């Protein structure tokens, strides 16, 4: 299975989510998954959500796009097509202010693409990414995953469901205010149990 890894922590040294994502990647590769892509959302040169032409292009049928609109969405197309091509995903997410980091939100906005990851029907939007699996590693400064102030896991579950991915496993490293080691141990135990 083709595996896409997505890191969203700006912390490269000492990041709990990155350390656990490394561990999960090693485990999945040992089970025959092949890493075919990696996105480091704070350090890759991700395009930003630009101008009016780019915005309007997201809602314009491909046959009606202007030349400038086509040019404006090349980067978003690349990210969405790469995402759609994978079979499984590892997403490392530190919780910031009770939700996802800004870079992950931008990435989500760029891959939520009509005709690539979802389409509209008379009954409403339908996700196009079926029979895929996502593992989400969430590290927090002490906010319990699943609590009333956890806006990461419900948001990501809703988003992945919107694009058709319903097989979502959350791995919590949510005791970081107690100790880094306790968080790593909690996440490692959950990964080993997969």
Query: Which residues does the annotation place in the binding site for FMN?
Result: 9, 15-17, 95-98, 139-142
Task: Please report, in range form, the residues annotated as the binding site.
Answer: 9, 15-17, 95-98, 139-142
Q: Which candidate, 182, 163, 162, places its Cα nearest to that of 173?
A: 182
Contacting residues for 31 by C-beta, under 8 A, at least 6 apart: none
* Segments of 13-83 assigned E as strands: 34-40
Bridge partners for 52 per DSSP: none
Give CA–CA dist 78/44, Å, rounded. Answer: 13
What backbone phi and psi angles, to 5 degrees, belong to 181?
A: -60, -40
């Amino acid at each position: 299975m083709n595996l896409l890894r997505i890191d969203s922590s700006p912390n490269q040294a000492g990041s709990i989510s990155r350390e656990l994502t490394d561990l999960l990647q090693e485990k999945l590769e040992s089970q025959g998954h092949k890493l075919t892509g990696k996105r480091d959302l704070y350090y890759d040169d991700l395009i930003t959500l630009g101008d009016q032409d780019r915005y309007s292009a997201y809602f314009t049928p491909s046959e009606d796009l202007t030349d400038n609109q086509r040019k404006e969405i090349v980067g978003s197309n690349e990210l969405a097509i790469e995402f759609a091509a994978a079979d499984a995903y590892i997403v490392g997410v530190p919780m910031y202010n009770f939700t996802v980091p800004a870079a992950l939100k931008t990435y989500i906005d760029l891959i939520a693409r009509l005709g690539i990851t979802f389409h509209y029907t008379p009954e409403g939007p339908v996700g196009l990414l079926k029979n895929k699996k996502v593992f989400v590693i969430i590290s927090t400064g002490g906010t319990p995953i699943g609590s009333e102030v956890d806006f990461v896991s419900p948001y990501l579950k809703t988003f992945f469901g919107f694009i058709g991915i319903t097989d979502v496993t959350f791995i919590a490293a949510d005791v970081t205010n107690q100790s880094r080691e306790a968080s790593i141990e909690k996440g490692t135990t959950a990964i080993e149990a997969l």
